[in-house]
Amino acid sequence: MSEFSKSDTLDRTAILDLITAYAFGLDRRDFARVASTFTEEAVVQNLFDEYLPEGKLFNSLTIGGTAVADGARDLFDTLDATQHQLGAQIVELTRTGARASTQVVARHHRGVQFFHIGATYEDEFVRTPDGWRIAKRTQHIHWTAGSPAVFLAQ
């Protein structure tokens, strides 16, 4: 096992806290908090594994933290509840920033209907004057349960 300096440990903790802030921001409908986890140039892509037909509905590319938060607000508008549970995480500091992989199970509910996903966030981070921010996220959706119609209801 490699040893980390105190600075590395602080950076890793800040990055993990940022990923957690994003999840709590979504679930608490704090979209300003969601936006603050990204840079305004961030590239965020949702990719469903090829065998999942719902990918045709939800594969997307979004640019900028504000746009990510606005898209989440629009998507979650018809939902009664969500819960994003973070699982195993790996953080790697690089010469120019950091990378992280995070497993996530996201539950989305409207009434008794639900749509759950199992995914991995693949993130790239940059250090800004306000601390670490996500510069790029690719969300790979590996499995789903329930109906994507939960998001399509009016």
pLDDT of residue 153: 65
Q: Within a domain: residue 33?
A: yes
Q: Within a domain: residue 1?
A: no
Q: Tell whether the model's pLDDT for residue 1 goes beyond 50.
A: no
CATH (domain of 14): 3.10.450.50
Rounded Cα distance between 69 and 62, Å, is 10
Closest CA to 102 of 118, 115, 83, 114: 118
The pTM of the full predicted model, rounded to 2 decimals, is 0.92
Residue 97's domain spans which residues?
A: 6-152
pLDDT of residue 152: 78
pLDDT 10s digits, 95-143: 999 999 999 999 999 999 999 999 999 999 999 999 999 999 999 999 9
Rounded Cα distance between 30 and 15, Å, is 19
Q: Within a domain: residue 113?
A: yes
> What is residue 150's DSSP assignment?
H
Q: Within a domain: residue 91?
A: yes
Helix 6-27 vs helix 65-76: crossing angle, to nearest 10: 40
Q: Tell whether the model's pLDDT for residue 60 goes beyond 60.
A: yes
Number of domains the chain is built from: 1
Helix (H, G, I), strand (E, B) or coil at 78: coil
Q: Within a domain: residue 31?
A: yes
